[in-house]
Copies of this chain bind each other. A is one copy, B any other.
Amino acid sequence: MTPRSAPHRSAGRPRAAVLSRELILEAAFALADERGADFTLAALARKLDVRPSALHHYFAGKDELIAGMRGRLTLRVGDHGFGTLPWYEAVVPWARAYRSTLGAHPGIIAALATLPVAGEPESISDYERIAEAFRRDGYPEHRVVPAIVAIESFVIGSALDALAPDDNLRPVHRPDLAPALEGAERAARLHAAEQGASAATAAFEFGLEALIAGLRAAGR
Contact = CB atoms under 8 A, between A and B. Distances in A.
B164 A114 contact: yes
A18 interface: no
B177 A113 contact: no
A163 B112 CA distance: 11
Nearest to A171: B124
Contacts of A204: 150, 153
Interface string A154-194: 11111011011101111111100111110111011011000
B116 A164 contact: yes
Interface stretch (A3-11, A46-54, A72-80, A212-220): A212-220
Most buried by B among A119, A156, A172, A215: A156
Interface of A is mostly: helix
Tell me how many chains of this kind the complex includes.
2
Given A202-B146, A207-B146, A207-B149, A131 B180 contact: yes
Given A154-B157, A178-B124, A204-B153, A163 B114 contact: yes
Interface stretch (A27-35, A57-65, A137-145): A137-145
A157 B99 CA distance: 12
Contacts of A157: 113, 152-158, 160
A146 B188 contact: yes
A157 to B, nearest CB: 3
